[in-house]
Every structure is written in C-alpha cells, then in structure tokens.
Structure 1
Amino acid sequence: MILGLVTAVAASACYGTGSVLQAVGSRRSAREEAAAKGRSAGVTEHGGPNLSSTAKAAVTWEFILGTVLDLIGFGLGALAARMLPLFLSQTVISANLVITAVLSIKLLGIRLKRPEWASIAVLCAALILLAVAAGPEGGHHAEMAVHWWLLGVTVAVIVIGALVVRLMGAGGAIVAGLLSGLGFGALGVGVRILNGVEPFDLVKLLTDPALYAILVGGIGGMYLHTVALQIGSVNGATAALVVGETVIPGAVGVLWLGDSARAGLGWLAAFGFVLAVVSAVGVAHYGQGEQDLTEDQPAEPELTQRS
C-alpha cells in the first residue's frame, strides 16, 4: 500500500509539472503564430485551434519536456493502478491539480481566487480520507468482452470529443479537459485489466484490446488536453480532467474489479471520493475566468481565448 501511494504521488508530480510546461509551450506558440499571421491565425471558424496550431504547440521545448514528464507519470501511474484500488490511485494521481495550480502562479503568472484555494485545500483533505479508508485492491481479471467494450468506448470518446470540441471552439476548454480525463481514465482501467503482464506473455499482451484502449486513451487524451490548454484556463481544464479520470475508473474498480474500502470505512471512502470530485469541479468553475499577470502589461496579440 505504501509503495503504491508513493508511486501515485510521484506520478501526480510528473503530471502536474508536465501540464504547466505544456500550457507554457502552447500559449507561447499561440502568441508567436498570432503575432506573425494575425489574431485569427491557427483557429477554426468556430474559434478553436486547428490541427496545425496544435502541432506547432507540440514542438516547443516546454511542451516536449512536459510530454516527457507525462510519459514518466504514465509509467508510474500504471504501476500505481496495479497496486492500489482504482478509486485511490486515480484520485491521488489527480492531485496533480494542486501542483498545476501552484506552478501556474510562477510560470504562467495566474492569480488564484480564494474559492480556488479553498477547493484545493478540500481536495487535499479528501485525498487524506481516501488514503485512510482504502483497502486492498481487487483483481486484475475481466471478461474479454469488457476489454472490447473498453476499446470501443475509448475510441468513441476521443473521436466524438475531438469533433465536439472543434464545434464548440473557444468555449470548449472545460469539455476538452473532461473528455481528456475520460481518455486517461480508460487508460487506467486498461492498465489494471491488461493481459500478459503477470506472468509476461507477449502474444496475450499484443492481442489484448485493452492494450489498444490504453494507446488510444493516452494519445487521444493528450491531444484533447493540449487543445484545452490552448483555449482555456489551465487550472479549469486540469480540474475537469481530474473529474473525468477519477469518477469512471473508480466506479469500474468498485463495481467490476473488486476494489473496496477497509472494513467499516466504506462510508469514509465514499465521502472522500465525492469530496474530491466536488472540489475539483469547484476549481474548474472558479478557474474559468483566471487571468495572467502578464495581461496587465501591453503584450502581443494572443491566439488563446480564455473561457
């Protein structure tokens, strides 16, 4: 349990730092493109970023470093998902919201409101409750039909999400964050039920639909998260991601994989879980209007339109 918690916290630190670095790269790329080609450069007719704009953001050094940290976080998160109940591992990993919020003050010059700080404090308290209440993780086995369902749902979420966010344009940051969270949540479930890991069997691994759900959820979730960082609040988008990657995997773990709380502490685990989700929603809500300190000074035109 302790090793699993340490691993999840390390994954959270990697993800939180990576998100802010990706936001720095995305916004710098957007400013440079807007300055070179005019304010409408790199956006669709609905106000959202086009694929070219997103691709340019992805090759900035900040974004690349953030992506490397994300990959390290993915590896650590995968280990945590196999050592802890999903409702605990995913929620601890989702605490990267706290790291994102703190680093965004320094690197993005964002002013956090009192309600945001209060929501972050409540999230930390909820994580403590979950850690106290969590029991041993359940099993890793699921019927093959579940593996196929996971792949199908993951593909649907990413494809439909990309289309919806494109249509919503600049107002779709929170939706993009939520859908990216669902993609990462599917990744967590896939890692938990993946065949061919213990004992290692390459054939079983490569023929398991859960492996491809992991790839689609990870890559698609990263794309949607990048879009969310381009067009909206970094804290709001990350908080929405927290909700997406926490609720569904936690429910799947409890309902189908045998995850449970310590004897007599089920109520505490449920309370901590709900409290974590509500506090993340609070950060997403109050963070929609966040402003950079740099906006107080004359600056080159920006592509991003914060929701």
Structure 2
Amino acid sequence: MIIGLLTAVAASACYGTGSVLQAVGSRKSARQEAAKASSGAVTQHGGPSLASTAKAAVTWEFMVGTVLDFIGFGLGALAARLLPLFLSQTVISANLVITAVLSIKLLNIRLTRPEWASIAVVCSALVLLATAAGPEGSGATPLSTHWWLLIASVALIGGGTLIVRLLGGRAAILAGLLSGLGFGALGVGVRVLNGVDPFHLPSLLADPALYAILVAGVGGMYLHTVALQIGSVNGATAALVVGETVVPGILGVLWLGDSSRPGFAWMAILGFVVAVAGAVAVAWFGEPDSAPEAAHDSIGQADPEPSADKAPRAAV
C-alpha cells in the first residue's frame, strides 16, 4: 500500500510538472501561428488544425513535458496495479494541485485564498481515501471484456475527435472530458492487462487491452493538446479530472473487485467525492479575472501566459 501511494504521488508530480511545460509550449506555438496570421492554423470551425497541433508538440517545452508524462505513465501504471483504481486515479488526479503550486514559481502566478483552501480540501480527501482503501481486486476479467474496452476506446477517441473538430473553438470543455475519459480507459486497461505478472509476451501482444491502452493514450494526449490550444476554460480542467477519476473508480469497484476496509466504505465514498469536488474547485478558482471568454474562436486569441487552470495534465 505504501509503495503504491508513493508511486502514485510520484506519477502525479511528473504529470503536474509536465502540464505546465506543455501549456507553455502549446501557447507559444499558438502565438507564433497568430503572428504569422496563418489561415492554416485553424479549421473552418475555429479549432486548431492538425498542423498547428503538431507544431505545438515539437516545442522544447512540450517535448520535455511529454517525457515527464511518459515517466508519469509508467509510475501511474504501476500504481494502478498496486492500488484500487478509486485510490490510484484520485491520487494521480491531484496533479492539478501540483500544477497550481508549481505555477507560482514557473509562471509567476499567485494563488488566492479560495485556491489554497481547495488544495487543502483535496489533500484532506486523499488522506481519507488512503485510510479507507482496502485491498485491490484481482483484475482478472474475461477476454471479451477486454474487447469491449478496446471498442469503447476506439469509439471514444475516434468519435470524440470528430466532434471536437466540428465544434472548433467551443470544444475546450468536451476535449478536456474526452481526454480524461481516455486516460481513465488507459488506467483500466493497465489494470486488466494480461501477460504482465508473470510476464508472458505472447499473452501480452494477444490482449486487446494492450491496444486499448495505445488508442486511449495517444488519443487522450492529442485531445489534451487541443484543449490546451483552444483556451483557458475552468470546466475543461474539471471535466478531465472527473473523466479520469470517477469512471475508472466506479469500474474498479463494480468490475474489478476493488473495495474499502471493512466499515470504512463511507469514508472512501466521502473522500472520493470531496477529492473530485476539491479538484474542480482548484480549476474553478484558478480562472484569472483577466482571462478571455471561454468560447474564443481562434487560437490566435490565446492568453500570452498560461495559468495553472490552463494546464490540465495528461493522466493515466
């Protein structure tokens, strides 16, 4: 349990730091595209084009942030194998708190009293969850459910990407939610993956959950980048947290046999709800007064400096 918690906290730190760097890279690219007055930087619906998203991904800040994300992914995958999903995913989602704190130093942003209070709420909720968490389930599931996970991941990322591109500059909240759901599907896939313990390569390669992980991970990263390019929307960050925390947590209990300690179910539920609410509050109160309207229709109207709420993480 202790090793799992430490691993989840380390993953959260990697994701939180990576989020700040990715936000800087995404917005630097957006400003450069706007300065060029490049009509190819946006789609006909006002969202970032594939070319502009690719350019954001090759800035050095974004690349360093991505490396941290991959490290966080490895640590998060290990945490998902060691802890109940409702605990591991919630601890990892606390990277929003880490992002907010790091933004003080890296982005010269001052946190308000409501933000500090929200951070304290999240930390308290994590203590409740850690206290209430019991043994994780076995993760043993029929192969048919792994196929369903793959189908759901393809439908989520494929259909979601199409809708986001159609909505354009209005899709920040949806992009955040879909990226969170993608990272949640990734966490579930890691948990049920065959051929890991003990390691057996043929079983690993034959498991549809492996390909669900790849689809959900790559798609979630793309949608995360789009959300960062579109603009600062507090709801997008909140939606990401809900997507990556609530759905995997429920699936862990109903599908994988995760449970709390005897007599501590109420504490687990309370901690879970309070943690999500606190993360939403961090995003909500982190919206600067000078932020542009949420529904900007061009990435050229992005803020010159990203803030903590503009940096939702790419999570497991």
- The answer to whether TM tops 0.5 is yes
The residue aligned with 1:33 is: 33
User: Partners in 2 of 1:289 and 1:158 — Cα distance?
Assistant: 30
The residue aligned with 1:248 is: 247
The residue aligned with 2:90 is: 91
Figure out how many residues of one structure are paired with residues of the other and give that number: 299
The residue aligned with 1:2 is: 2
The residue aligned with 2:43 is: 44
User: Partners in 2 of 1:228 and 1:290 — Cα distance?
Assistant: 20
Shift of 1:100: 1.2
Q: Which amino acid aligns with 1:190?
A: G
Q: Deviations over 1:207-242 (max 9, x none)?
A: 100000100111100000011111122865443222
The residue aligned with 1:142 is: 141
SS at match of 1:303: helix
Kindly indicate whether residue 225 of structure 2 is the aligned counterpart of residue 226 of structure 1.
yes
The residue aligned with 1:298 is: none
Kindly indicate whether residue 64 of structure 2 is the aligned counterpart of residue 75 of structure 1.
no
The residue aligned with 2:22 is: 22
Moved more, 181-190 or 231-240: 231-240
The residue aligned with 2:160 is: 161
The residue aligned with 1:196 is: 195
Shift of 1:110: 4.4
The residue aligned with 2:256 is: 257
Conserved 8 A contact 1:233-1:287: no
Shift of 1:135: 0.8
Conserved 8 A contact 1:43-1:53: yes
User: Partners in 2 of 1:235 and 1:11 — Cα distance?
Assistant: 23
Kindly indicate whether residue 300 of structure 2 is the aligned counterpart of residue 303 of structure 1.
yes
SS at match of 2:121: helix
User: Partners in 1 of 2:96 and 2:106 — Cα distance?
Assistant: 15
Change (3 A) 1:177 1:212: same
Q: Identical aligned pairs, as a percentage?
A: 73
Structure 2: gaps of 5 or more residues: 293-297, 304-309, 311-316
Report the TM-score, using the length of structure 2 for normalisation: 0.88
Shift of 1:41: 5.2
Shift of 1:243: 1.2
SS at match of 2:41: coil
The residue aligned with 2:272 is: 273
Shift of 1:116: 3.5
Structure 1: gaps of 5 or more residues: 296-300
Moved more, 236-245 or 65-74: 236-245
The residue aligned with 2:182 is: 183
Kindly indicate whether residue 97 of structure 2 is the aligned counterpart of residue 101 of structure 1.
no
- CA RMSD in angstroms comes to 2.1
Shift of 1:282: 2.7
Conserved 8 A contact 1:148-1:210: yes
Conserved 8 A contact 1:225-1:237: no
Change (3 A) 1:119 1:167: farther
Report the TM-score, using the length of structure 1 for normalisation: 0.91
